Every structure is written in structure tokens, then in C-alpha cells.
């Protein structure tokens, strides 16, 4: 009798445990079936072309009147005095503890990714540029004057967009300010923002900065005014996008002409990076010397295109024009002669 009483609780506990485990297994099966159904649904959906994302409203000239709570504690609605509204994400201390902001965070050192080698980066990485709140705004709209890539013998690690001194510069995505300082290396007044999607945006040559290190910024927030500080040949924004310190062409993401983000999700490939130079150093001599080298290269290319003909017996301007596919007028203009000029044997004429 005592033995029965002793084992009864144990038996009941074992039975309860088995029942609970069975329920857990059934629940797991249900979740797996649900996940499989969702995968099959996604695979059956037609593939669509990535759609551009337009900029969020900046609220320029408007005043925030009130905020409203939503069902999500991390999201609030801001009401403005022009009857517009906008979702914003409410930041908490935990938001900054994720690896994106916890690792390689340095508000002094410009290039904190010295221990991250290009070879260690994945061949491809999927970057969610914006979430359901559509948190994106162009830094500035305009025509790209100088593109990403080689400039003479140097490499231009961003794009240059001309502006008027005092034009507002906007945060591209929401995030946290890592650098806000005057950079003697050529950037002038520089603001570097690290974003939730893991990218960093660099804004150089600013006239003024309105943010400081560790500030929280939201997409569309004015972070400063465009200018002409540092190694610059005129008022413009030098804009870079970096991933673990590696630069790639910002025009892969932003259409600066219309201000749209080209897609919501971006497949970043390792070969988009400039593998011929180490991460970090933007040589701002290219702002001046690079332009001179490009102009010199153009002159060399033009010189290479020049074609000369040494006059022989029987040559005429008309005959030379036919031979080289040009006109008598063009030959005369290139050599400063007239159609009646006597051609001396042995003289070289430029014919193209």
C-alpha cells in the first residue's frame, strides 16, 4: 500500500510529462506545416520587378503637434500642423545593443573596420533597405557631377552632387550618428550615420552640421547644410555608402535625379566593392588634381585621334579629303590655310 502511494505521484508526473511532450510535438508539427504552406505560397507567387521607394515627407516648415500611440509600442504616429502625419519608430536602449551598433562603434576614429578584411566578407549579402514604415529620404536631389570610380590615377569613393551653400542635407535612413566633426583629410565638415540596415552614409563638405555623435536620427531629418568645406572645388555634397568600411556606388541604391530609392531590398555583391584600394581612405586630391589629370587624359586622347599626311607629288586638297573621309573646308580649318594654298612637297597637313 505504501509502495503504491509512493509511486502514484511519480506515475502521474510521468504521464503529465508525456502528455506535455506530445502536445509540444503536435504544436511543432502544426508550426512546420504552417511554415511549409507559407513557403509554397511564396514560391507560387509571380516574380515582380523591384519597385522604387519614394522619399518620406520631411515636414519642412511644419510643426509636430502631437503623437499618437499604436498597437505596436515601438511605433507612434506624429501629427503635423499641415494636417499631415508620419509613422516613427520609438527607440529604446535595447535598439542600440544589437551588433550593428555595438560592434566597431567609434565616434572618434573615422575607419573602425580595420580588422575586417575584404576576403572575410560574404560573396553576397541581402540588405533590407527599408521596412514597412518606408524609412527613406534622398540626401539631396540633383545631377551627379562626378561619379563613383576611377578619376585619373585616383579612385573616387562616392558621388558628388552640386548644390547651393545652405541647401538642406537629409538622413537617408534612420540610424545613429557615429561621426560629426571637421575632417582635415579632405571631407571638411563630415557627418557619418550608421543605419539599422548595416550601411553607413557619409556626407562631406557640409557648411554646417546639426547633429552630434550618438544622436538618433530619422529618415528625412535635416542633418546639416551643404557647403564647400575641406578639399572641394565648389559647393557640393560628397556622398558615400559603405558596408563594413567598403565603398560601393551610391547610384546602385539612389536615383539622385528623382530622389527615389531604386528598391526596398538590395543584393550587395562583393565585386561591387573597389578591390584595388584598401577600405577607408578617400584621397581628396582628386577634387583638384584628379580633374586636372582627367583633362590631361582627354587632351592625350584627342592628340591620339589626330591624323597627319605628308604631302607628296600630285596630292591635292580634294584628293586628301576623299582619301581621309573629310572635307576641304575641314582640312583648311585644321591647318589655317585656304583652298587656294599651294601644297609644298614634304609638308605635313593635319587631315583629321
pTM over 0.85: no
- Smallest CA-to-CA distance from 161 within 218, 234, 242, 230 is with 234
3-class DSSP state of 271: helix
Residue 79 scores a pLDDT above 80: no
Tell me the C-alpha distance between 241 and 158, whole Å.
7
Residue 146 scores a pLDDT above 60: yes
What's the mean pLDDT in 63-85? 72
- Can you give the pLDDT at residue 5? 46
Least confident of 33-42, 163-172, 264-273, 297-306: 33-42
Q: Terminus-to-terminus CA distance in the chain, angstroms?
A: 118
Tell me the C-alpha distance between 244 and 104, whole Å.
9
- What burial letters (b/e) apply to 111-148, b meaning 16+ CB within 10 Å? ebbeebeeeebeeeeeeebbeeebbbbbbbbbebebeb
- Can you give the pLDDT at residue 54? 67
- Can you give the pLDDT at residue 200? 97
3-class DSSP state of 261: strand
DSSP state of 207: S
Q: Percentage of the chain surpassing pLDDT 90?
A: 32
3-class DSSP state of 311: coil
Q: Is the distance from CB of 333 to CB of 317 less than 8 angstroms?
A: no
3-class DSSP state of 348: strand
- Can you give the pLDDT at residue 262? 86
- Can you give the pLDDT at residue 40? 55
Tell me the C-alpha distance between 344 and 312, whole Å.
8
What's the mean pLDDT in 238-260? 92
Residue 269 scores a pLDDT above 60: yes
Which pLDDT tens digit goes with each residue over 212-248?
Answer: 999 989 888 899 999 999 999 899 999 999 999 999 9
Grid cell for residue 130? 527599408
What's the mean pLDDT in 148-159? 81
Tell me the C-alpha distance between 315 and 256, whole Å.
55
Which pLDDT tens digit goes with each residue over 81-111?
Answer: 677 776 766 666 666 667 788 889 999 999 9
3-class DSSP state of 190: strand
- Can you give the pLDDT at residue 4? 44
Amino acid at each position: 500500500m505504501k509502495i503504491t502511494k509512493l509511486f502514484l505521484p511519480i506515475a502521474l508526473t510521468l504521464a503529465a510529462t508525456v502528455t506535455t511532450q506530445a502536445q509540444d510535438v503536435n504544436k511543432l508539427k502544426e508550426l512546420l506545416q504552417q511554415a511549409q504552406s507559407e513557403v509554397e505560397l511564396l514560391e507560387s507567387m509571380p516574380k515582380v520587378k523591384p519597385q522604387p521607394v519614394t522619399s518620406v515627407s520631411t515636414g519642412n516648415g511644419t510643426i509636430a503637434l502631437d503623437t499618437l500611440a499604436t498597437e505596436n509600442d515601438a511605433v507612434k504616429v506624429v501629427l503635423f500642423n499641415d494636417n499631415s502625419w508620419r509613422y516613427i519608430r520609438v527607440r529604446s536602449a535595447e535598439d542600440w545593443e544589437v551588433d550593428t551598433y555595438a560592434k566597431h562603434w567609434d565616434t572618434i576614429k573615422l575607419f573602425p573596420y580595420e580588422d575586417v578584411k575584404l576576403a572575410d566578407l560574404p560573396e553576397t549579402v541581402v540588405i533590407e533597405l527599408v521596412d514597412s514604415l518606408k524609412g527613406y529620404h534622398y540626401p539631396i536631389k540633383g545631377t551627379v557631377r562626378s561619379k563613383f570610380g576611377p578619376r585619373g590615377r585616383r579612385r573616387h569613393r562616392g558621388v558628388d552632387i552640386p548644390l547651393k551653400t545652405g541647401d538642406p542635407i537629409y538622413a537617408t535612413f534612420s540610424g545613429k550618428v557615429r561621426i560629426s566633426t571637421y575632417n582635415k583629410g579632405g571631407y571638411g565638415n563630415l557627418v557619418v550615420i550608421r543605419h539599422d540596415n548595416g550601411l553607413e552614409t557619409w556626407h562631406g563638405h557640409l557648411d554646417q552640421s546639426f547633429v552630434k555623435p550618438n544622436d538618433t536620427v530619422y529618415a528625412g531629418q535635416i542633418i546639416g547644410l551643404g557647403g564647400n568645406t575641406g578639399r572641394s572645388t565648389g559647393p557640393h555634397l560628397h556622398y558615400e555608402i559603405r558596408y563594413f568600411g567598403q565603398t560601393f556606388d551610391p547610384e546602385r541604391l539612389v536615383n539622385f535625379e528623382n530622389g527615389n530609392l531604386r528598391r526596398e531590398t538590395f543584393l550587395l555583391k562583393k565585386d561591387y566593392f573597389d578591390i584595388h584600394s584598401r577600405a577607408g581612405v578617400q584621397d581628396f586630391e582628386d577634387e583638384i588634381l584628379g580633374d586636372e589629370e582627367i583633362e590631361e587624359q582627354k587632351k592625350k586622347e584627342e592628340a591620339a585621334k589626330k591624323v597627319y599626311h605628308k604631302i607628296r607629288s600630285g596630292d591635292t586638297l580634294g584628293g586628301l579629303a576623299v582619301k581621309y573621309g573629310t572635307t576641304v573646308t575641314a582640312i583648311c580649318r585644321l591647318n589655317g590655310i585656304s583652298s587656294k594654298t599651294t601644297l609644298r612637297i614634304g609638308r605635313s597637313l593635319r587631315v583629321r
